[in-house]
Each structure stands twice: as C-alpha cells, then as structure tokens.
Amino acid sequence: MIWRMLGPVVVVLALAVPTQEVLAEQAFRFELTPFIGYRVGGSFEDSDTGESIDLDENASYGLILNFVEKANTQYEFGWSHQDTSVDVTDSGGNPARLDLDIDFFQLGGTYLFDGDFARPYMVATLGAAHYRSHSGDSESDTYFAFSIGGGWKLWPKRRFGLRLEGKYYGTLVDSNSKIFCGSSPNNAGCLIQTSGKLLSQWEVMAGGVFRF
C-alpha cells in the first residue's frame, strides 16, 4: 500500500533530478570561439554616377564569447574583421584602389536545439560596423549593423568543440552618405557618395570552442 502511495512521488523526483549530462552542461558558463572565415558581398551605389562600387571578397577572422543563460539559450558578443579593397575614383577623377578594414561588433543571443554530439543553433545580433580606410587622409565611418545566422556546434570533448556557421551581415548606410572623406591637400573630397541602402555581406566560418 505504501509503495502505491510513494510511487508517483518517486517518479516525480526522478524526473526532477538532472541527469549527469545536464549537470555537465550546466558546469560550464562561458564559451570562447576564435574563428577564421570567408566574407563575400557588399556594394555601394554612387549617387553621382549611379555605378555600383563592390567590395572585394576576402578572408575574415574574429572572436566570439558566449555566456550560457539556460540549457538552450546563450548571450553572445562577437567581433569579426575583414581586410578588403574597393575600386573608387579619387578627387582628381582618376581611378584608385582603396584598401580598408571592416570590423563588426555585435551583441545578441543564440538558441540551441537539442542534441548530444551535434547541436544545431540559430543566432541573431545587433551592433555596429566600423569601416576604416588604410589611407591616412580618409576618415573612418561607423554604421548600425545586424546579423542573423545558424550552424552546428560539435562536441568531441566536454571542454572543446567545433563551431561551423553561416551568417548574413546587414549594414544600414545613411541616404546620401559621404564616406571616406579627407581634408588634406591630397584628398580634400569624399571618395564615395552613396544613395543610401542596405549593404549586405555573407560569411562562412569555422572555429574551435573552448568551454570554461
């Protein structure tokens, strides 16, 4: 009789006790991911000529820090850097090649789906995109940017894993924005005057994940 009364209680308590795998997951609060990738896309429309000014595709690298909030959700801060180039026309009307750095600084969240060795996930972030010309005469520019992506986290070890991801970056460039402007005698104008649009880039990356 007593076992019939205690049976449901035992079942409830058994379900409420975390498994060893769950406890192992909860033991880690942070994930640090250095990564390398490849970023493509990105074009400005010159409001003076109507021509498209395209960024060169190139390798990227960066760092991602995740803070585990719950079993399936994480806060995320990410930095992604790319060295690229663009063909422009200088203030004298001559063709020129401009080398520049693009840095994304993003803050957002990650949702992970259930899984053991492989866990698919989605990520969305908001932040800034910083464009800096290698030319000392040109000013740098910062714009609002966002990203959305997804991928897999693979866990061959408890403390070390792999992160495979594809991501879209969107940068909001102001309408009739003048960028890469200079005030020196050699560069007293702006190299690009855009008509205002969403600048889109895509990135694929892979990195090692360290838990602690």
What domains are defined for the chain?
29-211 (2.40.160.20)
Tokens coding 115: 């899984």
Give the tens place of pLDDT for each residue, 120-146.
Answer: 999 999 999 999 988 666 668 899 999
Identify the band that residue 13 occupies on the pLDDT scale cut at 50, 70 and 90.
very low
What is the pTM for the complete model shown?
0.80
Tokens coding 165: 């991801």
- The alpha helices in the chain, defined as continuous H runs, are 2-16, 20-26
**Beta-carbon neighbour count of residue 123 at 10 Å?**
22
Tokens coding 78: 């990410």
End-to-end Cα distance, the chain:
48
Does the pLDDT at position 185 exceed 60?
no
Kindly report the three-state secondary structure assignment for every residue of 10-59.
HHHHHHHCCCHHHHHHHCCCEEEEEEEEEEECCEEEECCCCCEEEECCEE
Give the tens place of pLDDT for each residue, 47-95.
Answer: 666 677 889 999 999 999 999 999 899 999 999 999 999 887 666 667 7
Rounded Cα distance, 44 and 50, in Å: 10
Give the tens place of pLDDT for each residue, 150-164.
Answer: 999 999 999 999 999
Backbone angles phi, psi at 23, to 5 degrees: -65, -35
Tokens coding 39: 């970023």
